[in-house]
């Protein structure tokens, strides 16, 4: 509620090629029912030239979910995991505090199940092991599993996010620009200022990319390639991933199958699991059950560990470099240009500091000294 009319504000936020949060648009609603959300999404669809979002994350809102299914039928829709777990906290918190092993196992199953089959099997084992089949709150959580458990979205492009944290962060920034008692006209003016700030932030990243020298972490030639083709924030994410290569050993199962085993678990972001990697050296085709490339658009440390094992570390195959994360071509400067020599006159007055050129005749009349 960011305005004097008490109308809910609905922002659409996305991610640019630098991994930054950007605003795509916004709307005001009279109320939060299905009809209002259908209108909002139809207007957004028109503004986007009829292009539906491929993937979308929202909080638990039944009206919004219904409107999404009606307006964006081809969109992959998921709920924010953080909101769901927070909503479960009041009813499950006390019970889980008395069953620490169950709590840890629950989080492990939700976070690190790499397939639907694995999740279903581990959940059933957990229920039987801890004898909690009669816990209605866990049953309610299981009933909505398809809306938030990462295993059900493992092959969908949700880069670097599983929650609506970016949207919440945007709302927090917006509140620094907007007073709750503002009129819609004032809101619009402040919203444009925020958009300008976002544009400046994006330009700043481009400038830092060109101006700042970054050293590669290791001696892998493919890291040099990543530094040259990826935008700087995406390269830094890639560099963090390549460092995890040292956290794993490889066991070759057959000609094209490898078992990637953590040396000292847990590995940040991947837990204690071992991962299966399929690698075809001839066709330069790699796949890992963690599905990081499908999810984030970057090769995972498990695939790169196998590439090291095979000795194919010269470059990243072109099909594994998304255009979305590349340095934009228009910002690439082939060579630096020498600025033309322009002669400027500056003069000094005993009565003031540096003066403008418009004051030059008056200063000359007063006999002040001139400096080229």
Q: Based on the fold, state whether residues 249 and 281 are members of the same structural domain.
A: yes
Count of all residues that appear for the chain in the document: 372
Q: How far apart are CA 2 and CA 182, in angstroms?
A: 7
Tell me which residue range forms the domain holding 361: 338-372
Q: Based on the fold, state whether residues 52 and 184 are members of the same structural domain.
A: yes
Q: Based on the fold, state whether residues 47 and 95 are members of the same structural domain.
A: no
Tens-digit pLDDT profile for residues 253-300: 998 999 999 999 899 989 889 999 999 988 999 999 999 999 999 999
DSSP class of 352: B
CATH number at residue 30: 3.30.420
- Looking at the domain assignment, is residue 171 inside a domain? yes
- Looking at the domain assignment, is residue 331 inside a domain? no
| Nearest residue to 285 via CA among 275, 295, 293 | 293
- Looking at the domain assignment, is residue 4 inside a domain? no
Q: Given this model, what pLDDT does residue 333 score?
A: 52
pTM of the model: 0.75
Q: Based on the fold, state whether residues 85 and 69 are members of the same structural domain.
A: no
Bridge partners, 267 (sequence order): 271
* pLDDT of residue 340 exceeding 80: no
Q: How many domains does the chain have?
A: 4
Q: How far apart are CA 316 and CA 319, in angstroms?
A: 8
Q: Based on the fold, state whether residues 107 and 130 are members of the same structural domain.
A: yes
Sign of the torsion angle spanned by Cα atoms 61, 67, 71, 76 = positive
Give the rounded percent of residues in the chain with a pLDDT score beyond 70: 81
Q: Based on the fold, state whether residues 32 and 168 are members of the same structural domain.
A: yes
Q: Given this model, what pLDDT does residue 38 score?
A: 95
Tens-digit pLDDT profile for residues 215-254: 888 888 999 999 999 999 999 999 999 999 999 999 999 9
- Looking at the domain assignment, is residue 50 inside a domain? yes
Q: Based on the fold, state whether residues 39 and 52 are members of the same structural domain.
A: yes
Average pLDDT, whole number, for the chain?
A: 82
- Looking at the domain assignment, is residue 253 inside a domain? yes
Q: Which two tokens stand for residue 208?
A: 């830092």
Sign of the torsion angle spanned by Cα atoms 134, 136, 141, 145 = positive
- Looking at the domain assignment, is residue 333 inside a domain? no
Q: Based on the fold, state whether residues 73 and 175 are members of the same structural domain.
A: yes
- Looking at the domain assignment, is residue 158 inside a domain? no
CB-count burial class (<10 Å; 0-12, 13-18, 19+) for 234: buried
Q: How far apart are CA 229 and CA 237, in angstroms?
A: 13
Tens-digit pLDDT profile for residues 7-49: 888 888 888 898 888 888 888 888 889 999 999 999 999 999 9
Q: Based on the fold, state whether residues 175 and 268 are members of the same structural domain.
A: no
Give the rounded percent of residues in the chain with a pLDDT score beyond 90: 45
Q: Based on the fold, state whether residues 61 and 188 are members of the same structural domain.
A: yes
Q: Given this model, what pLDDT does residue 237 score?
A: 93
Q: Based on the fold, state whether residues 187 and 264 are members of the same structural domain.
A: no
- Looking at the domain assignment, is residue 359 inside a domain? yes
Output phi, psi for 263, to 5 deg: -75, -45
Q: Based on the fold, state whether residues 71 and 168 are members of the same structural domain.
A: yes
């Amino acid at each position: 509620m960011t305005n004097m009319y008490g109308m809910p504000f609905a922002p659409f936020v996305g991610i640019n090629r630098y991994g930054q949060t950007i605003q795509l648009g916004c709307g005001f609603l009279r109320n939060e029912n299905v009809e209002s959300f259908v209108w909002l999404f139809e207007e957004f669809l028109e503004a986007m030239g009829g292009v539906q979002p491929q993937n979308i994350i929202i909080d638990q809102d039944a009206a919004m979910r219904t409107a999404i299914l009606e307006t964006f039928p081809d969109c992959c829709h998921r709920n924010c995991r953080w909101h769901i777990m927070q909503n479960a906290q009041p009813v499950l918190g006390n019970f889980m505090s008395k069953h620490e092993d169950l709590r840890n196992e629950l989080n492990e199953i939700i976070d690190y199940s790499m397939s639907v089959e694995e999740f279903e099997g581990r959940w059933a084992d957990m229920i039987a092991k801890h004898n909690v089949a009669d816990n209605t709150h866990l049953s309610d959580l299981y009933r909505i599993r398809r809306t938030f458990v990462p295993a059900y979205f493992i092959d969908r492009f949700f880069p670097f996010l599983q929650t609506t944290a970016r949207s919440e962060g945007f709302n927090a920034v917006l509140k620094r620009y907007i007073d709750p008692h503002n009129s819609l006209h004032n809101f619009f003016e402040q919203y444009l200022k925020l958009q300008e700030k976002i544009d400046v932030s994006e330009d700043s990243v481009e400038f830092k990319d060109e101006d700042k020298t970054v050293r590669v972490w290791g001696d892998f030639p493919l890291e040099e390639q990543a530094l040259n083709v990826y935008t700087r924030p995406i390269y830094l994410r890639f560099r963090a991933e390549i460092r995890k290569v040292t956290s794993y050993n490889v066991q070759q199962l057959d000609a094209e199958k490898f078992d990637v085993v953590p040396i000292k678990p847990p590995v940040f972001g991947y837990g204690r699991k071992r991962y299966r990697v399929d690698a075809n050296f001839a066709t330069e085709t790699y796949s890992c059950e963690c599905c990081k490339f499908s999810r984030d658009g970057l090769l995972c440390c498990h695939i790169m560990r196998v590439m090291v094992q095979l000795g194919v570390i010269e470059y990243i195959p072109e099909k594994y470099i998304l255009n979305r994360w590349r340095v934009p071509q228009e910002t690439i400067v082939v060579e630096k240009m020498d600025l033309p020599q322009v002669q400027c006159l500056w003069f000094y007055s005993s009565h003031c500091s540096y003066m403008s050129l418009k004051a030059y005749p008056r200063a000359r009349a007063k006999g002040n000294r001139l400096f080229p």
